[in-house]
């Protein structure tokens, strides 16, 4: 005999009171007999969640996960026919998905799953529904911890155990939010490749893209944009963010917004643009940067003032020449529609 397919209960459980059977299986494994453990249930998979199932793996029985007995027999015949494969290679191939016979990956050994097992035992959870609810509560924290540690292997293990890469914590933040805050490009790329959603908003209405912007992780921003992310929320809020960056002389932050597709002519809640604010604070380099990136030169705020008006009122000797070199105009030199102020306010309201 070179191979055996077992049909066991539930998640691959085996009678613990039959030491003679366990000993026989162990002895067969030592003789290099391939023994595959399959569940007889229509749903679920073989895993070592319970001691009764774990003892089979401890004696060398190969877990069949969600493979049907029929598929296991066919696969076993194929693997045993491969004379060029050694014993370990054959065991490895039986655990691998060759032709779609496995829909779940190999559940690896890991301390995190031991935690789920321990909690399940403590709370006396046994049903599939209860275990699923427990996983949905614990997995997000485990995934976020793996992202913070930059541990791709642990993330892969969690995914193979059924963790959802888009699962939200109590603040509705996902692992992608965390990765974008950290700026770990490897983590961001892994999550995106494994189905993480780019449009989920947290409790504070922030997407992963906005987190990447707020931490100036330019490569992460580019990757998110490539995967379909875009600026969301109030356009006035984006204008407020641009003006705040200009006021603080944060060119790197403005560059983050630019990469994300922001319009530098976007007004804030007072009708000002980032160019107005940069001119007011005398940030000549920011003014040059904004003009280079197509900020509206003669934008008019609620008071009918242009960036040049702001620079003159602030008596900015560094900004005025820059604006004038681009033929900037003052507000009283332009045709200002008296209804613009009210229309802008109405649009904000």
246 within some domain: yes
Q: How far does CA 293 lie from the centroid of its chain?
A: 30
pTM strictly above 0.75 = no
Structural domains counted in the chain: 3
119 within some domain: no
* 144 and 213 both lie in a single domain: yes
* 158 and 80 both lie in a single domain: no
**Looking at residue 296, what is its pLDDT?**
97
Q: How far apart are CA 180 and CA 164, in angstroms?
A: 17
Q: With beta carbons less than 8 A apart as the criterion, state whether 241 and 266 touch.
A: no
* 29 and 89 both lie in a single domain: yes
144 within some domain: yes
DSSP codes joined into one string, 213-262: HHTT-HHHHHHHHHTT----S-HHHHHHHHHHHHHTT-HHHHHHHHHTT-
- Residue found by looking up tokens 């705020």 in the block: 301
**Looking at residue 108, what is its pLDDT?**
45
CATH of the domain at 17: 3.40.50.40
**Looking at residue 318, what is its pLDDT?**
97
* 69 and 149 both lie in a single domain: no
pLDDT, tens digit, 9 for 90 and up, residues 24-66: 999 998 999 999 988 888 777 787 666 666 788 888 888 888 8
* 210 and 244 both lie in a single domain: no
* 80 and 164 both lie in a single domain: no
DSSP codes joined into one string, 156-214: HHHHHTT--TT---TTS--HHHHHHHHT-HHHHHHHHHTT--S----TTS--HHHHHHH
* 144 and 199 both lie in a single domain: yes
pLDDT, tens digit, 9 for 90 and up, residues 212-226: 999 999 999 999 999
51 within some domain: yes
Beta carbons within 10 angstroms of residue 253's beta carbon: 19
301 within some domain: yes
338 within some domain: no
Where does a domain end: 50, 69, 95? Answer: 95
50 within some domain: yes
Where does a domain end: 227, 249, 279? Answer: 227
CATH of the domain at 136: 1.25.40.20
Domain around 277:
235-329
114 within some domain: no
**Looking at residue 111, what is its pLDDT?**
55
* 8 and 91 both lie in a single domain: yes
* 223 and 248 both lie in a single domain: no
pLDDT, tens digit, 9 for 90 and up, residues 134-182: 878 899 999 999 999 999 988 998 888 788 999 999 899 999 999 999 9
Where does a domain end: 187, 205, 227? Answer: 227
């Amino acid at each position: 005999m070179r191979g055996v397919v077992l049909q066991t209960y539930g998640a691959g459980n085996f009678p613990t009171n039959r030491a003679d059977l366990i000993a026989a299986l162990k002895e067969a494994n030592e003789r290099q007999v391939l023994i595959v453990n399959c569940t007889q249930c229509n749903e679920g998979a073989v895993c070592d969640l319970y001691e009764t199932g774990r003892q089979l793996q401890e004696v060398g029985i190969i877990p069949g996960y969600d493979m049907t007995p029929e598929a296991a027999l066919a696969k076993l015949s194929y693997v045993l026919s491969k004379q060029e494969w050694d014993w370990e290679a054959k065991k490895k191939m039986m655990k691998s998905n060759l032709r779609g016979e496995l829909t779940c990956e190999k559940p690896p050994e890991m301390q995190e799953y031991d935690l789920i097992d321990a909690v399940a035992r403590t709370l006396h959870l046994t049903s599939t529904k209860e275990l699923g609810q427990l996983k949905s509560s614990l997995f997000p924290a485990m995934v976020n911890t793996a992202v913070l540690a930059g541990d791709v292997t642990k993330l892969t293990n969690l995914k193979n155990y059924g963790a959802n890469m888009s699962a939200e914590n109590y603040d509705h933040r996902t692992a992608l939010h965390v990765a974008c805050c950290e700026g770990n490009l490897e983590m961001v790329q892994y999550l995106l490749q494994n189905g993480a959603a780019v449009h989920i908003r947290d409790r504070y209405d922030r997407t992963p893209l906005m987190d990447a912007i707020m931490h100036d992780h330019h490569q992460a921003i580019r990757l998110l944009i490539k995967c379909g992310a875009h600026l969301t929320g109030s356009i006035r809020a984006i204008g407020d963010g641009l003006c705040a960056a200009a006021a603080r002389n944060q060119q790197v932050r403005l560059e983050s917004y630019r990469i994300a597709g922001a319009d530098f002519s976007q007004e804030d809640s007072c009708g000002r643009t980032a160019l107005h604010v940069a001119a007011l604070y005398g940030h000549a380099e920011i003014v040059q940067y904004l003009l280079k990136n197509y900020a509206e030169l003669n934008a008019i705020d609620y008071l009918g003032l242009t960036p040049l008006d702001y620079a003159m009122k602030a008596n900015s000797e560094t900004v005025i020449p820059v604006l004038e070199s681009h033929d900037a105009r003052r507000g009283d030199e332009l045709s200002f529609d008296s209804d613009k102020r009210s229309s802008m306010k109405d649009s904000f309201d």
